[in-house]
Chain A
Amino acid sequence: MSEKINVVICSGTACYVMGASEILLLEEHLGDEARARVEIEGTSCLGFCKNSLNGKAPFVTINGQLLSSATLPNVIQKIQELLDAEHK
């Protein structure tokens, strides 16, 4: 049984204002297959906004990998890429 893909969405102030409010609706926008394979978590603060070297908010981590300037489409795309990589 393959492991779940861990998605952590930061909903701190900067992230929320820059688009996390939309990304938090991720589960509704995933296909059935993706939804079953993904474990979605939120957090009140990841702390990445404090260092500009991390890029811009909103921040999402997917299996620990940081995604800056995240959007709902590119988070879904990243998840799909991981799922596709498994199928190969």
Chain B
Amino acid sequence: MSDSSTAATFIEVGHQQLFKYSEGAGGDTFLSRKNDSDGRVISVLSDGLGSGIKAGVLSTLTATMALKFVALDIPIQRAAQIIMDTLPVCKERGISYATFTLVDIEPNSCVRIMEYDNPPYLLVRENTVVEPIKSCTRISRKNKRTGPAHEALLYYSDYRSRPGDRLIFFSDGVTQAGMGTKAFPMGWGAASVQDLILGKIAQEPDISARELALAVVQGAQQHDAYRAKDDISCAVIYFRNPRELLIMTGPPNNPEHDGEMARNFKAFPGRKIVCGGTTANILSRLLGKPVRLMLKNLDPCVPPMSTMEGADLVTEGIITLGKVAEILERGAGVGTLAGSGKFEEQAGENGATRIVDMIRDSDRIVFMVGTKINEAHQDPNMPLELEIRRNVIKKIQMLLARQYLKEVLIRYL
């Protein structure tokens, strides 16, 4: 168990990206990882010069190097020096091919940030912008011949995080949105972006990192008249009270444990999803609440959902969970704003998309998995192979921990 799970705060990392209009690949790269062992979080946002695949390759290179160096505990200034020496420099423009903002959050709440050529980050604490002192280092490149005439400026700052803090950083596609238009000749501007962010937080004090990042990117897109003139990326790191989610699926191997399962379900402090007809029946019987199937808006591929008092959502089991794993693996429309930023299935909402939405709006997900096997599912006459529940859940756990930086616990019954 990492410190961040036993402590009150959870580090929610949310980000949203929009590619430059009509570009197939993004020139901005955002990478983030969380150590299972100690809860350390490292995030990097890099903006490649220009846009498209060339910029994307260089920003990916930069971000990946930065992430790995910091994870290996190479001192942050040294890591920056190596990256600067490795990155090619544009002969004409005299600047590196990719920028970066690097955030390293230690389990003891110390946050260290290194910035090169991205708009400065925002630290919002109790609805005000706090500005930690930054020290500036000049980095001169080894190869003076190909290096720029002027030196690169790296900004380093560190501070102690507090619960409720929000760290927001973005590429210049955000601050320069709308540049060149009559209304915003100099672009949207850092000050206005700040106003939007503070406004959103004031309006919705618990706004999640994901939703805030989305709001910033949508704001930028709007200023670009809905045709992004540059890649637009925003990342938000929110030190929050964790939102908990229970997903209960499968009858206990031993029916004598049904009662324990029902008690766990009732006592859980967060939102609750039941996946599986048999599971729902057991809970329904023991908690005395009927389960009703919803026959409206049937989806062609995913079985229908049900309602039960005390549960936020009731779905079918293994088919739905398989679909959830599929959706999570595909990932959100990175580089596009799919609808309101929610995952979209072709046909609209179904049990799987609802589960995914709830997962994305949660920080800590607890799976309580009954291990009883239903022989009817293993009938060779079945037209498709039904995965074993445990395997699908394990897959989902890996995806959520690695790609979505969620905390996932699995309990078997």
Taking Cβ atoms with an 8 Å cutoff, the residues of A that contact B are: 10-14, 16-18, 21, 24-25, 27, 40-45, 47, 49-50, 56-57
Contacts and interface: CB of A to CB of B under 8 A. Distances in A.
A11 to B, nearest CB: 5
Nearest to A24: B298
A16 B377 CA distance: 11
Contacts of A18: 382-383
Given A16-B303, A42-B293, A44-B291, A11 B316 contact: yes
Nearest to B317: A13
Contacts, number: 75
Interface of B: 276-278, 280-281, 291, 293-295, 298, 300, 303-304, 306, 314, 316-319, 374-377, 379, 381-384, 386
A17 B382 contact: yes
A47 B276 CA distance: 12
B291 A42 contact: no
Contacts of A49: 374, 376
Contact of A13 (B281, B291, B374, B383): B374
Nearest to A56: B381
Contacts of B384: 17
Nearest to B298: A24
A17 B386 contact: yes
A14 to B, nearest CB: 4
A44 B316 contact: yes
B376 A11 contact: no
A12 B278 contact: yes
Nearest to B278: A45
A47 B376 CA distance: 10
Contacts of B377: 13-14
A47 B314 CA distance: 17
A24 B293 CA distance: 11
B319 A16 contact: yes
Tell me which of A10, A16, A27 has the highest count of chain B C-beta atoms within 10 A of its own C-beta. A16
Contacts of B316: 11-13, 16, 44
A16 B379 CA distance: 14
B303 A21 contact: yes
A50 B295 contact: no
A47 B281 contact: yes
Given A18-B383, A45-B281, A13 B303 contact: yes
B314 A44 contact: yes
Contacts of A13: 276-277, 303, 316-319, 374, 377, 386
Contact of B298 (A10, A25, A45, A47): A25
7 nearest interchain CB pairs?
A45-B277, A42-B293, A49-B376, A44-B277, A12-B277, A14-B376, A16-B303
Contacts of B383: 17-18
A79 B316 CA distance: 27
Contacts of A24: 295, 298, 304
Nearest to A25: B298
A47 B278 contact: yes
Given A40-B295, A43-B277, A14 B379 contact: yes
B289 to A, nearest CB: 13
A60 B374 CA distance: 19
Tell me which of B277, B295, B298, B319 has the highest count of chain A C-beta atoms within 10 A of its own C-beta. B277
A21 B317 CA distance: 15
